A = this chain, B = another copy of it.
Amino acid sequence: MSGIYFGIDVGGTSVKIGCFDGAGELVERREIPTRKGENGKYLFDDIAMAVLMQTVALGLKPSAIAGVGLGVPGPVLSDGFVETCVNLGVYDCYPAKEISERLGGVTVKLANDANVAALGEAMAGGAKGAASMAMITLGTGVGGGIVVDGKICVGAHGAAGEIGHLTVNPAETQRCNCGGRGCLEQYASATGVVRTARLLLAQSDAPGMLRGKLNLTAKDVFDAAKLGDELAGKAVDIMCDYLALAMSHVSLVSDPEVFIIGGGVSAAGEFLLEKLRTRYERLSPIMKRKAQVRAALLGNDAGIYGACRLVL
């Protein structure tokens, strides 16, 4: 065996650790809890220890570790500096350097988790074979990542691919969590779809499947829309209008070959993708040929696949 590679996705609750061979095939996958506090002291120790134990468990020596890639939930500057990862309690440090030191100088590379997930889908998932792509993750918030010529586009301030905060509705009066107004996230996240449905419910007395429902979820809205509920359909249409507009913006800036739609809300499947494609195709007539719109394939493993590709 020529060497093994680790792809590590550091989340606020758990750290997913994938061990890959030189061909990028997943050999083994583990998960450890995220210990926060003391600016990553425990976290870095835990990660280095888990990597070493997994290597030994495979019957290999630590010298077999050819590289470690890490995805973290926060902006990463191009030199690997992390100013703040709120969810990890990590501030003003170079996490890759910390972990490399604990592994005897092994090559460790770092990137933002949304960007790493995009790289995973680009290299081994829904956009496999595409040189350029954009990933949009529709979860509690809306995340994004841009891959250009097979590499993550980080940006000068670590903000490239922050698709969720594109201003898609300058007329919005309510504020987004980021402090802005009219961000994509306010309409296309799970929270956003529910918010839109609630606003529509408040605007009329018309009966419908969602009326009187407690703890309304994005899934409820999509399920009702699929069954033909008018108000739910309208909430989904509003989401798709804004998301397609944001996709047209991305296309005219980085012009990806493929859009990958992931995250919990993307469980709505072809029902959602077809609505998106129709709207996206109508926009930006200057582009004769447009990007394909596909579903994410790797789910929660996108991060470990992408992190591994940082060093593979």
Contacts and interface: CB of A to CB of B under 8 A. Distances in A.
A178 interface: yes
B284 A180 contact: yes
Interface stretch (A160-168, A217-225, A296-304): A160-168
A121 interface: no
Dominant secondary structure at the A interface: loop
A157 B290 contact: yes
Interface stretch (A25-33, A95-103, A147-155, A264-272): A147-155
A256 interface: yes
User: Contact residue range for chain A?
Assistant: 35 or more
B156 A253 contact: no
B283 A167 contact: yes
Nearest to A168: B170
B245 A159 contact: no
Given A257-B156, A290-B157, A166 B252 contact: yes
A156 B291 contact: yes
Given A162-B287, A166-B252, 9 more contacts: A78-B131, A149-B151, A155-B254, A159-B287, A165-B252, A178-B286, A180-B283, A249-B253, A253-B254
10 contacts: A131-B156, A156-B291, A157-B290, A160-B254, A161-B255, A166-B252, A167-B249, A167-B283, A178-B284, A183-B286
Q: 5 smallest A-B Cβ distances: which pairs?
A: A155-B255, A156-B257, A160-B255, A179-B285, A253-B253
